[in-house]
Chains A and B, each alone.
Chain A
Amino acid sequence: MKILNTFLIALLGMSAFSSPLLADTADDRGLEIAVEADKRKNGFGDFTADLLMVLRNKQGEESTRELRSKNLEVEGDGDKSLTIFDRPQDIKGTALLTFTHKTGSDDQWLYLPALKRVKRIASNNKSGPFMGSEFAYEDISSQEVEKYTYKYLRDEPLDGEAMFVFERYPVDKKSGYTRQVVWMDQDEYRERKIVYYDRKNSLLKTLTFSGYEKYLDKFWKAAEMDMTNHQTGKSTKLAWSNYAFGTGLGDRDFDRNSLKRAR
């Protein structure tokens, strides 16, 4: 991963010939921050957590979903994750296996217990909403450094804390966004706020992180993530709980066969 990052920095540096120096420094600085943040997240091995999703529409009606998530760190590529759906009852036992990749589209399989089959999600176009929520799959999947290019904007306090503010631009052409503006605290490199701009570069959504807690004296995880869609007036809250690290998960827990026994 380090080698790749160095390569990327070098690649970005090459464009210095054609563009103003300032912009390049901003690009470098943005990437540096992203790389540092990624570095601080590395080394967790594996973890599990429970997730409660609360969806709310403009009419004020609410609906909830419950999931469990298992994650495995992969050296040299994106992480693997297994998401098990517990509620609503109709999709209980449904499980989603994802292999994120640093480049190219991720691999996904879904196990449908009612059909007793594993189906590969054969779409190169997965920027739609996750379970009808305001989170797109691309918002909650493993945020690999290589999925974006970066540009540092400014330092700015948020709620009295010093932040880096930088923009990132999705590499994937099929992404629903032109850019995202990220507020990241300078002490611990934790995302605190992300503002999403849609394909026509209009303000689309704001995601705020809260209730950060530290695990294994090293890894910060947010307890709550609130996404508000400014265009439709809908919102979704993700509440994370029961984080557990070092649970002894291995590759065998993240293959197609594991999907069926995931419950």
Chain B
Amino acid sequence: MVETIATAILRGRYLWVLLTVMFVVWAAMGGRNLTLTTDYRVFFSEENPQLTAFEALQNTYTNNDNVLIVLAPKNHKVFTRKTLAAVEAITEEAWQVPFSIRVDSLTNYQHTVAEEDDLVVGDLVVDGANLMDSSLQRIKNIALHEPLLVNRLISPSGEVTGINITIQTPGIDQTTEVPSVVAYARDMVKKYQDIYPHLDFYITGTVMMNNAFPEASKHDMRTLVPLMFLVVFVALWFLLRSLTGIIATLLVVAFSIATAMGLAGWIGIRMTPPVGSAPTIVLTLAVAHCVHLLVALMHNMTKGMDKRAAMFEALRVNFQPIALTSLTTTVGFLSMNFSDAPPFRDLGNIVAMGVIAAWVYSFVFMPALVMILPIRTHANQETASKWMSSLGEFVLNNRRMLFWGNLALLVVLAFSITRNELNDQFVEYFDDSIEFRRATDFVTDNLTGIYTIDYSLKTGGSGSINEPEQLQVIENFANWYREQPEVIHVNVITDIIKRLNMNLHGDDRSWYRIPESRELAAQYFLLYEMSLPYGLDLNNQIDIDKSASRMTVTVNNLTTNELLLVEARAREWLEANAPAHMHTVGASPAIMFAHITSRNIRSMLKGNAMAMVLISFMLIFAFRSIKFGLLSLVPNLMPAIMAFGLWGLLVGEVGVSLSVVVAMTLGIVVDDTIHFMSKYLRARREQGLSAEDAIRAAFSSVGVALIMTSIVLIAGFAVLALSSFKMNAGMGLLTAITIALALFADFLFLPPLLLKIKGKV
């Protein structure tokens, strides 16, 4: 059958080239449908409980996607006429930002004051440019003592201020909504930068983060993919020294990427940063097939075969191993569908399609093309082969030491896995080359935090938010939070009601407390709400039934673990000190990301087990031996265990993207085992060699090819490690390490293991 296919390919070479090109063009047209995702929620499945909780909270109150524009005057003084005028102007114009539903700033902060028997509610700053010195001082005094403002919209020192724009995108057209907000905000800031050169501007917020995802993807595609092509070109030059071979390989690679990404577009996959790493991965994986075929072709040609016969033989010999390795790789990537984070499912599916495409193209298109183009051989792999033979001898001579040494290393590294701490601080997903990261770092250092924990505190029954006891509990909860060292700011409704109580008692400071009756609180709120301007209402803090209030806690730059610990302490506090109806959990993007890795690890373990079982069956079938099929599990699992152990020692932090590395590498590292084991078994079965001699044979026949393909794979994933998006970078680095360790395991541990279990083959 293999022969028939090979003959057909060689005979109809022009037709195959044409058919391939036509298919690639059709597939690639799907690329037009690839739209960029601009919503961090894409990382969460619909059934994710933390997402559901946060959506419920936003549906009860209002959305809290935001753009935070931060102004840092060069003279470190916010309370000047010039700066306040700037804040006032930007605040006014911020209402024009697309999809904005609310703007909060120092100037439009609704300051309340008692004036005889009236309650005066109004903007804190009016006509900032023409304020008298005494007014400036008064405003500064009010702002720096207002708990709603300090550490949220004004730094305690009065040096930096922020304008917070709440954005509610309808979510109808993801590709345009967020970018239009960002473009407007940036244009606006640019305009004011020219008018007010004494100010430095920074823009952050969840909308900016949403926009940073496609920016990071684009950045990666622009820099990493070309870099990877360069790496592959250089590697191929060293490996093949044949222009035709290089051209054919690069075409297969490019076609595979175009097909994978195009088909992704046709089936409606959205671009996310993990998906953005797909081209690099497909590229890396596609090279291996071509290298195996071309090396075999040139080897045959140097042995004196004519081109056609050499190609025929190369196809015949490589058909089964390449089919098998393609299948196992595909299974590995498809098992990423178990991921709880949809972008990784997409990545798995795209790469799986790319691997299959690469398999077909390297078998149909590449041989056909090589037959059409001229090819010369310069191959001289004698030195490499000799080198491999001595490596084989070394392994045979030191088998005991290698076996026990590696086993000990494996155990040590397996224990080191526990040194990995889960951490998903979403700001740190982006490196310094992304503007969002730089702006956010400044804001975190100088104004407020970016990570929040939101609570919907139920007070029990309609109107119960006005109940003094309930308000007191909320107040206590807020105060408890304020005492925690991790906390920067607490936005809580009691600060407003206390102020109103004071205002309605002639601004007497001693009335700055929770009103003593439910009716008073209700009526104060009513009066206050009637005095509020458009967009600045309390609907973002009190639910419609007045039976729950939202409290937002802003924390420091905490690691995931620290964040979860604070949240757990808060839950304990609520359970010990609050009535049962107020017991609740915190919800927010930070909390969602805090759970994503552990959730994903749990779901991926299932996927890994499934892939492992499937791949083991394939190997049992391929080796025609249950014993060797199961034995191969050892070198297949070892690399991942050792890699995570090494990661624990070297880095010690694991994010969501690393939880899919086992699935990604499983199918790849199996390839080495397949090549080595099949050569070993063939030598023993067909040539009747001893175990030792079979190992020598395996080393000399596939050793060089394994090293070559591993180098390409390691280089490919190492390139990914340069990504500006930490998820991709970590994933690339750990995968590169795993593949290196796989080579290590197959060369230095598998042979001693095979020698231990000599028996029947």
Contact = CB atoms under 8 A, between A and B. Distances in A.
Interface in B215-245: none
Given A129-B539, A132-B538, A199-B96, A94 B533 contact: no
A200 B94 CA distance: 9
A106 to B, nearest CB: 11
A51 B4 CA distance: 85
Interface in B104-132: 115, 117-123
A202 B526 contact: no
A127 interface: yes
Contact of A176 (B63, B530, B535, B542): B535
Given A132-B546, A232-B539, 10 more contacts: A110-B526, A114-B522, A119-B527, A121-B530, A122-B115, A123-B531, A132-B542, A199-B96, A232-B62, A232-B101
B122 to A, nearest CB: 6
Q: Which 10 A-B pairs have the closest CB atoms?
A: A176-B534, A90-B522, A127-B534, A128-B532, A125-B533, A114-B519, A63-B545, A58-B59, A59-B59, A123-B531
B117 A118 contact: yes
A115 B114 CA distance: 15
Contacts of A59: 56, 59-60
Interface in A188-211: 198-200, 202
Interface string B460-490: 0011001000000000000000000000000
Interface in A2-20: none
Nearest to B531: A123
20 contacts: A57-B543, A89-B463, A90-B466, A91-B523, A96-B530, A110-B527, A114-B520, A115-B504, A120-B117, A120-B119, A122-B120, A125-B122, A125-B534, A128-B536, A130-B530, A131-B529, A132-B542, A176-B535, A231-B101, A232-B101
A126 B530 CA distance: 7
A225 to B, nearest CB: 17
A91 B519 contact: yes
Interface of A: 55-59, 61-63, 85, 88-91, 94, 96, 108, 110, 112-115, 117-132, 136-137, 174-176, 198-200, 202, 230-234
A119 B117 contact: yes
Given A113-B523, A118-B117, A88 B546 contact: yes
A113 B518 CA distance: 12
Contact of B99 (A56, A94, A202): A202
Contacts of B545: 55, 61-63
B526 A128 contact: no
A199 B95 contact: yes
Contact of B537 (A55, A129, A174): A129
A114 B518 CA distance: 9
B95 A90 contact: no
Nearest to A58: B59
B409 interface: no
Nearest to B518: A90
A121 B544 contact: no
B517 interface: yes
A112 B60 contact: no
Contacts of B546: 63, 88, 132
Contacts of B318: none
B523 A112 contact: yes
Most buried by A among B115, B520, B522: B522
A127 B530 contact: no
B97 interface: yes
Interface string B528-565: 01111111111100111110000000000000000000
B98 interface: yes
A122 B119 contact: yes
B120 A123 contact: yes
A121 B466 contact: no
Contacts of B517: 114
Interface in B506-530: 517-524, 526-527, 529-530
B7 interface: no
A131 B59 CA distance: 19
A110 B59 contact: no
Contact of A63 (B97, B462, B527): B462
B100 interface: yes
Contacts of B121: 122-123, 125
Contact of B530 (A63, A90, A110): A110
Interface string B598-633: 000000000000000000000000000000000000
B168 interface: yes
Contacts of A89: 463
